[in-house]
Structure 1
């Protein structure tokens, strides 16, 4: 693929942190760069695994998502979480069977979608959940008392990612987003529960284990802090350009629409400037509305704050129940507003990103917001 490139700038833009990246991974990275010109791909966590009132039966015959139920279109980006793969469990922490997850990931890729993986790993020292803040990071670094346990965990992560193959036996590319929201204190890898230096070392050792020990070459690595308390926070935990392919940020509407809008505009601007200085694409890697009440939240709160922001995608979190959901479903009072949100030409669904190729796009012809 690289031998056909005509410009040095194009060659530079295909360089990934993994020098042995698979061809499919390089193509996915170029698609992501091209998506981010002025368009935003729509993503949903566990989109095809379950919805508010349904669950995949595992038979392979169910092809459904809540977003498709509302709009007649599937999302462009598919988020999955591999938490509890490290334990050797058959299901992840949200009760999705890993065998089913594998099938859904492969199908999403073969249909033209982008796949992202998060990892809510249990605390390797205490045995508690990701939210158990017993200090653990220093214990799983090289020389730590729990290093062998962590190396065993990484072997299981690598086996799962390497098992992702399409119908032709080619590796399925994924965006891997471990140890996210590190500037918050709620995870065992978060601020206050480990030093910044130890966090950076954990990230680097994790990437090196996958690349060199386990020969995993179908992964783009994404770094995603939570809502920033100050702009300097974005850089503070950064593990370095050689260990990150995509920049992200997680911002939820916890404290009301006005504060959420401001956080989106300010924090995405910080991320955008940081990304520009490093020539990396960036995304809103998690978002969602917790403070419900605005009848046109999608079109009047979220959309104005993200349009023309440069993010390659935005991913809303999972639909667990009528009391806990982030994407619309048919009975959601905001379903009509979401349909209007999805009618903006710069909001991309699955069928839209199928049209995005791998060649550089010097110009953008679609008019955003129309």
Structure 2
């Protein structure tokens, strides 16, 4: 149980002061050190626009990867991270291990590295590049890397692992999950299912599992306004009762920023009375099964034997399921822990081998793929790379690559689903929020979107895609819909002018309908109280950024699973 050092931007700027705090946890640290294990997150600024981590403009991930026009700025940032890592030593100069948690909560889209702004394969290669640059180029060897997308996952491992960078690049399997339900059985059961899943995956992969962020959504409230005063013990008791979830190695709360925003109940302080949830937190603390930082001892004294690294290779670019729209593109392959005697690639079912040459400046085996303009026809092909390692079996890699631009859609169209060659291409274009499955269905005279959901461990789920264009000349949004008769709440969300506007077509009945929802009927999302009275303006419709589809669980509805079909989403 603990909390995190916030932000490497702060740490790098004030390295001397912050490193002294970090040293308190290390071997041989000064008396009075808390004795815990430090974790560091990285709220990185936008390397393209110069904005902060919440500025999602600029296609940042694609442009900071190798070959991107802002890769240099990203390397400079990682150089600062490396300087910090090398400065974290004890009084005898020995490196102090630190859990490094970059690119967290990527399953959402509030950060520029989030699901709507990077494909799963782009995210994976960004993570791998970060680890390889810090570990191999800058010789940082005191970082343990924590993978921590945001929950929930309903205990479904393939959804959690969708952006998993691989066993060679991750040490801690974590996830972040905040509760806005006052520890409802559904939320608690979902957390237990997820933590149990993480523990089982960690066993399989030789990792450790953690709740890398958890707590009450939006912070605790002032006395008299908290809905469940026994939140901590109820959640802890449920986790403790599950044989897998109880093996979670640590749970980290977010910080107490002050009297206006705090995530852990406080004692009486100055004019502030004791927080009403402190008694329950103390009961959580006193439970024999919980361990807090002050109760840890000799954390860094354990002797371990390093495992020899096996040869490893991965295709850096083009990433898996990437869409290549130029007649030529650069192939980059990273081979680690071995020297390859030969590396080559083939395309599709053709046997011809094309060599890749080692570039010592970049550390990649590279070559130019001569695709040809005629092959840019919106089809999927297989890029296969083979690396031979003397005295060992050869390494074989395969990425699927979509050749050619997606057929252009008329102005105002969100999606007609005809331009996706298969389900995998569809899923690469949409971000997933929560647990659901999307696929292409034969309906409405062509292809339509099938959206399958399950509310066993979640209360809402959705998908989203980036959106651009000028809709100021349109009066509404039209769509074809086949509801599932569930009476759950379908939410169409249009992010325009920086505001999330919503409309709610009915899921009653099962008859296909053609709908048009005037923009005058759209309203800001209920959680956006600051814009509650705002309405869509022509200026908003000139500044589009995102289109999302959600299904929210309705109160009193017994149906927990369903499927909705949608098609021809367009401004009209």
In structure 1, distance between residues paired with 2:258 and 2:284: 22
User: Which residue does the alignment assign to 2:23?
Assistant: 106
| Residues 204-235 of structure 1 deviation map (CA, whole Å, 9 limit, x = unaligned) | 00001101111111111111111134522211
**How far did 1:337 drift?**
1.3
Change (3 A) 1:156 1:297: same
How far the C-alpha of 1:149 sits from its partner, in A, is 0.6
The residue that corresponds to 1:354 in the other structure is: 297
TM-score by length of structure 2 reads: 0.46
Does the 8 Å contact 1:180/1:225 carry over to 2?
A: yes
- The 5-angstrom pairing of residues 322-361 of structure 1 reads 322-330=259-267, 331-354=274-297, 358=302
Change (3 A) 1:193 1:250: same
Match of 2:25, SS state, is helix
Task: Find the counterpart in structure 1 of residue 533 from structure 2.
Answer: none
Residue of structure 2 in register with 1:33 after alignment: none
Correspondence 1:152-231 to 2 at 5 A: 152-229=76-153, 231=156
Q: Which of the numbers 305, 308, 316 marks the counterpart of 2:239?
A: 305
Deviations 1:298-340 (A, max 9, x none): 1123443355521111011000122311112102111111111
Identify unmatched segments of 5+ residues in structure 2: 221-225, 268-273, 305-572
Q: Which protein has the bigger strand share?
A: 2
Instruction: Report the Cα distance in structure 1 between the residues aligned to 2:247 and 2:162, rounded to whole angstroms.
Output: 22
Change (3 A) 1:127 1:313: same
- Unmatched segments (≥5 aa) in structure 1: 1-41, 45-78, 91-96, 361-370
State how far apart, in whole Å, the 2-side matches of 1:300 and 1:229 are: 20
CA distance in 1, matches of 2:303, 2:139: 27
How much does 1:84 deviate?
1.9
Aligned-residue offset at 1:85: 5.2
Structure 2 counterparts to residues 39-54 of structure 1, below 5 A: 42-44=1-3
Q: Deviations over 1:46-92 (max 9, x none)?
A: xxxxxxxxxxxxxxxxxxxxxxxxxxxxxxxxx21234259x6x3xx
Alpha-carbon RMSD across the aligned residues, in angstroms, is: 2.0
C-alpha distance in 2 between matches for 1:272 and 1:354: 24
What is the alpha-carbon distance in structure 2 between the residues aligned to residue 154 and residue 324 of structure 1? 30
Q: 1:341 to 1:225 in 2, by over 3 A?
A: same
The residue aligned with 2:199 is 272
Q: CA deviation at 1:284?
A: 0.6
1:285 aligns with 2:212: yes
Q: Return the offset for 1:104.
A: 0.8
Give the superposition deviation at 1:277.
1.6
Aligned residue pairs total 277
1:123 paired with 2:46, answer yes
The question of whether the paired residues in 2 share the 8 Å contact of 1:264 and 1:306 is answered with: no
Equivalent residue number for residue 75 of structure 1: none
Any conservation in 1 of the 2:39–2:100 contact (CA below 8 Å)? yes
Give 1:273 deviation, angstroms: 2.2
Aligned ranges for residues 6-85 of structure 1 at < 5 Å? 42-44=1-3, 79-84=4-9
Give 1:359 shift.
6.5
3-state SS, counterpart of residue 66 of structure 2: coil
Secondary structure (helix, strand or coil) at the match of 1:299 reads helix
Contact 2:90 2:96 in 1 (8 A): yes
Alignment of 1:243 with 2:166, yes or no, is no
Q: Which has the larger radius of gyration?
A: 2
By relative contact order (CA 8 Å, sep 6+), the higher-ranking structure is: 1
Question: Separation in 2 of the partners of 1:132 and 1:125?
Answer: 10
Cα distance, 1:98 vs structure 2: 3.6
d(CA) in 1 for partners of 2:181, 2:237: 18
**1:247–1:281: 8 Å Cα contact kept in structure 2?**
yes
How far 1:293 sits from its partner (Å)? 1.8
Partners of 1:137 and 1:188 in 2: how far apart? 8
- Which secondary structure does the structure 2 equivalent of 1:287 belong to? strand
> In the superposition, relative to structure 1, how do residues 133 and 229 fare at CA in structure 2: closer, same or farther (>3 Å)?
farther
Distance of aligned partners of 1:201 and 1:325 in 2 relative to their CA distance in 1, 3 Å threshold: same
Q: Distance in 2 between matches of 1:103 and 1:313?
A: 23
